[in-house]
Structure 1
Amino acid sequence: MARILVIDDDPTIRSLCTLALSNRGHEVTTAPDGRDGVALVGQRSFDLVVTDLVMPEQEGISTIRSIRERARDLPILAISGSMAGEQRGGVDYLKLAMSLGAQASLRKPFSPRQLSSAVEALLGSPPLPPAA
């Protein structure tokens, strides 16, 4: 079991991530934006962070930078909807997130299985069995 922080401004996404990851035996903590997420990283120990990129208060790119300052080796999975992940103004935000310290990325919408597989890969856990 891993301690996972999910940072996303959408309560539905936070709930879906919590359900998918807790069903795999993980302890999940959530934050509604990057500012709260970074504060939690400073207060608690996590094995992995899942962070959205487009959020109020503090967006995901700044969140990743701040987490890297506090926890250099903490694995980060960047998630984002198609608008944030698409090239906008010449910048692909999912690729930028990867260049700044995220080890993996997922484009929304993703399935619970895709999320679990990405998390397990980052944690070095055995892969999920094939879907029936």
Structure 2
Amino acid sequence: MPTVLVVDDDPTLRLTLRHLLESAGVEVVEAEDGDEAMRLFRANRPDLVICDLVMPFADGLQTIMRMRRLAPAAKIIAISGGGRSKAMDLLAVARQMGADHVLAKPIERSQIALIVDFCGRDRGAPPLPRGV
């Protein structure tokens, strides 16, 4: 069973992603900030990380860069909401800083299957449509 680390300071989003991913046969580990995410990343070595970009303490960009240094082959999807243009800017930066793919919030139910599929693929294989 693949493991996904969901990193987001919004408990409602974490719970929603947990339910959707678990119903798709994925084990979920949750973190509410970048510092907790790094502890869980080291301890669990998840198959995939879904990381929000705007969080307290260590933000998502810092967290993604730290994960990438620790495990260059890690699979990471950056997510962000908070205003469409600002989110898109942050997501573009996240791609440059090491995220394999980016998704704008809210995450659609239809994207869950693509996320789960990404757990089993090689890091370089694109699981999501371009521009998503």
Q: TM-score, normalised by structure 1?
A: 0.84
Matched position secondary structure for 2:17: helix
Structure 1 unmatched ranges of 5 or more: 128-132
Write the distance in 1 (CA, Å) between the matches of 2:82 and 2:120: 25
Once residues 98 and 77 of structure 1 are traced to their aligned partners in structure 2, the CA distance between those partners, rounded to angstroms, is 9
**What's the counterpart of residue 60 of structure 1?**
60
Q: For residue 26 of structure 1, report the CA deviation from its aligned partner.
A: 0.5
Give the distance between the partners of 2:98 and 2:50, measured in 1 at CA: 12
Corresponding position of 1:69: 69
Alpha-carbon distance between aligned partners in 2 of 1:122 and 1:27, rounded to the nearest angstrom: 11
When residues 7 and 46 of structure 1 are mapped into structure 2, their CA distance, relative to the original with a 3 A threshold, is: same
The reply to whether residue 109 of structure 1 matches residue 106 of structure 2 is: yes
Runs of 4+ with >4 A deviation: none
| TM-score normalised by structure 2 residue count | 0.84
Which digits, 9 at most, give the CA deviation of each residue in 1:72-111, with x for residues without a partner? 101000000043x6248xx811011111111111101121
1:106 is aligned with what amino acid? Answer: L
Alignment correspondent of 1:46: 46
Count of aligned pairs between the two proteins: 123
- Could you say what the CA RMSD is over the residues aligned between the two structures, in angstroms? 2.1
Matched-pair identity in %: 37
- 1:23 equivalent in structure 2: 23
2:18 counterpart SS class: helix
Q: Which 5+ residue runs of structure 2 have no aligned equivalent?
A: 128-132
Question: SS at 1:96's partner residue?
Answer: helix
Check conservation: 1:79, 1:106, Cα contact below 8 A.
yes
